Amino acid sequence: MADSLNFSHAGLDLKRLAVPSAIIREALNQEGGVRLGQSSVLSTKVHAFNAHSPEYVQILVNADAGQVFYQRQDSGAVYHLDVFHQCGALDHKAAARRVWQAVQTYNTLVAGQRDLPDELLINPDFIDIQTATGGGRITGTLLGGQKESLRRAHENHVHLALALVSGQLTGLFYIVAAVETAIISSGLEIRRNERISCVESTDSQDDLSPYTEEGDSLLSGRQKHSLSGKAVRESDNVNTVTAADVSLTANYQGL
């Protein structure tokens, strides 16, 4: 399986991915979630699962990811992507580098298609990551996410929060492939999601402090920056900040 994942991202054809991208878009428009491949769950909501059965993932349809993670006023602006793996400490910096490289590859392919607008380019500044070793903005210092409870809650999955526009969803396939490759390269196994379901959260969610870390993530919505990657096509040096992150995983008590 490892050999199948260690391929050039350039081999992913943008036009062939148009149909699955449309399926994702439709599912998200219906306030649901989707499974990407066998290991990843995507929505604009908070995800919950029992630590003893992480293969069953619930999409909490009344808990918007942007509002819960970043205290945003709008809804549906932040995509939540979880990629599941065998319990272990995945180096978040190595995973972030692979995600950034995948975004650069995707942007290069988009830029090479003259019929595609620059608005489809993804800005990597709007991607945050968290694993069991830490987290932060993938273009930042990646020194955040060090609270013990936060790291412990991400021992079995890579958490990504992304601000994208609808037309950029094709880039998710490149990102998922990059994360899966990072997992396998670290010696961990990918874990399959058996089932996802959409439910309403009944938890009070009053105290999330053990699973929250303050930071200056661009996903808070307070900063005015373009979601397009046009301005960062050739940018390798970006001002660094740490990203805020939160996980409800350890709080979840049953399926």
Q: What is the pLDDT of residues 66-116, one digit of tens each?
A: 999 999 999 999 999 999 999 999 999 999 999 999 999 999 999 999 888
Q: Which residues of 54-70 are buried (b: 16+ CB within 10 A; e: fewer)?
A: beebbbbbebbbbbbbb
Q: What is the pLDDT of residues 150-197, one digit of tens each?
A: 999 999 999 999 999 999 999 999 999 999 999 999 999 999 988 899
For residue 130, the surrounding DSSP H or E stretch is: strand 127-131
Q: What are phi and psi of 42, to 5 degrees?
A: -125, 135
What pTM was estimated for this model as a whole? 0.83
Residues across the chain: 255
Q: What is the pLDDT of residues 186-198, one digit of tens each?
A: 999 999 988 899 9
- 27: left (phi > 0), else alpha (psi -120 to 50), else beta? alpha
Quote the DSSP letter at residue 171. H
